[in-house]
Amino acid sequence: MSDTTVAVIGLGIMGGPMAANLVKAGFDVVGYNRSPGKIEILKKKGASSVAEAVKDADVIITMVPDSPDVEEVALGEDGIAANAKSGAIWIDASTIRPDVAVNVAKAASDKGIRCLDAPVSGGEQGAIDGTLSIMVGGDKDVFDEAKPVLDAVGKTIVLVGPSGSGQTVKAANQLIVAGTIELVAEALNFLEAYHVDTTAAIEVLAGGLAGNRILDRKAASMVKREFTPGFRIDLHHKDMGIIIAAAREAGVAIPLGAHTAQLMQYARQLGYGDLDHSGLMLLVEQLSGRAQK
């Protein structure tokens, strides 16, 4: 593993733990982040620019906020296409528009870079534990070669189709997660209004057909009104914009998804954008006239 150099661009809530797990797995890891303090996770392996980080890398992982950020990191003068060595594998773990994923992969491929779009699910804890679910778009041969790197940061790793497919599956993932958070928030608010023992209710609900990961991972903190971000409302709002646009382009109806996207937007407008996406609970409370003082 030490013979493989992995550059990680973006060392935030998700990218930082992923880089740390790559180090633990024995890879030679170099990182870059716009906020220099984040480099501390890699000790002396921090780079001063994207160009410096990627120039000798065998594999490059990007984990940045949005489509324009990926375009800049991939195609800018200081970016991957202009500075990485020919034959390097670029894995974009960001969540972006599927059409952008296809376009940047083609542009990078023209420069000799082999590309995978590989967005992740599992939140901050999944990144820390190295148990992320990773949906990958791209060529099977490149996927197979990159698999040891992906294995260091994820548990469920599936090639779902050609370039752009990973981002399409991630959009579907974010649709399901947002809708489930909203329904769990509504259910908890309903239970509290009837003064039910919510801890007991969560236990029995989680054991039946209503069981889901949101109940398992988020319900207890939602009851406590603890919304330290593992994944911010601001970012999920961005992701809902991706699914709305992609659904419109494909001509498919997502009526509940569209409504949930609006609720996510309302939460942002109320000033909850920096909270965890389970902070939709606060919006449900306000709509019910039960906001805590």
DSSP result, 212-263: -HHHHHTHHHHHTT----SSBHHHHHHHHHHHHHHHHHHT---HHHHHHHHH
As a whole number of angstroms, the distance between CA 146 and CA 149 comes to 6
Q: Is 279 helix (H, G, I), strand (E, B) or coil?
A: helix
Question: Cα separation of 4 and 150, whole Å?
Answer: 13
**Angle, CA of 23, 104 and 236, to the nearest 5°:** 70
- Annotation marks residue 44 as catalytic: no
Q: Of residues 45, 106, 170, 218, which has the active-site annotation?
A: 170
Q: What is the spatial distance between Cα 243 and Cα 16, in angstroms, rounded to a whole number?
A: 26
Q: List own/partner pairs for 121-126 with CB under 8 A and 24 or more apart.
A: 121/170, 121/173, 121/177, 122/154, 123/217, 123/230, 123/231, 124/13, 124/14, 124/17, 124/229, 124/230, 124/231, 125/217, 125/230
Catalytic residues: 170
